[in-house]
Amino acid sequence: MFNYDWFHHGGLARLISEAKERCAAKKFPDQPRSGSGGGNGSPEFIGYRDALETRIILYMKDGLQYELKEMADVGTSTALAFECVPMDDSYKVGAIVIIAPFDDIARVEVYAVHPDERPPDSFRIPGFRAGAMEGRE
């Protein structure tokens, strides 16, 4: 289902737009929506929607999860190359770049939230299975 074109030529952008539109519609439920991406045209709605932040979560078929920070251009169209948000504080001093075959991606989620309404304890997206680190010393 996922391929280079979906991530780079509209699919991901449409999913991000839809998440922002729906988040803004929850904030302004009494104002009509004019369809995906259309909004209702009110300055409050548009301002709120435009201020929304998003988090993109990739769920892999092997059970791993990654938060996509930024796509990376490494010259391949057969796999998704991206920098992920590190889950462990010790990795935050560097950068983690991953290449994942499109066939290994099971699901993509976009979470939209306004910066003023973001939960204080932002949920963490693990990049590795918890059990993978068990038993290491």
Q: What is the pLDDT of residue 133?
A: 44
CA dihedral (30, 34, 37, 39) in degrees, to 10, reads -40
Band (24; pLDDT cuts 50, 70, 90): very high
- For tokens 């435009």, the residue is 50
Proportion of the chain above pLDDT 70, given as a percent: 77
pLDDT at 137: 42
Confidence at residue 76, expressed as pLDDT on a 0 to 100 scale: 87
Amino acid of residue 85: V
pTM of the model as a whole = 0.78
> What secondary structure letter does DSSP report for 31?
S
pLDDT at 93 over 60: yes
Rounded (5°) CA angle 35-36-38: 70
- SS3 category, 35: coil
Q: Where are the alpha helices (DSSP H) in 1-137?
A: 4-8, 11-27, 43-51, 130-133
Instruction: Tell me the pLDDT tens digit for each residue of 39-75.
Output: 557 888 989 999 999 999 999 999 999 999 999 999 8
- The larger pLDDT score, comparing residue 92 to residue 76, is at 76
Q: Check residue 34 and give its pLDDT.
A: 56
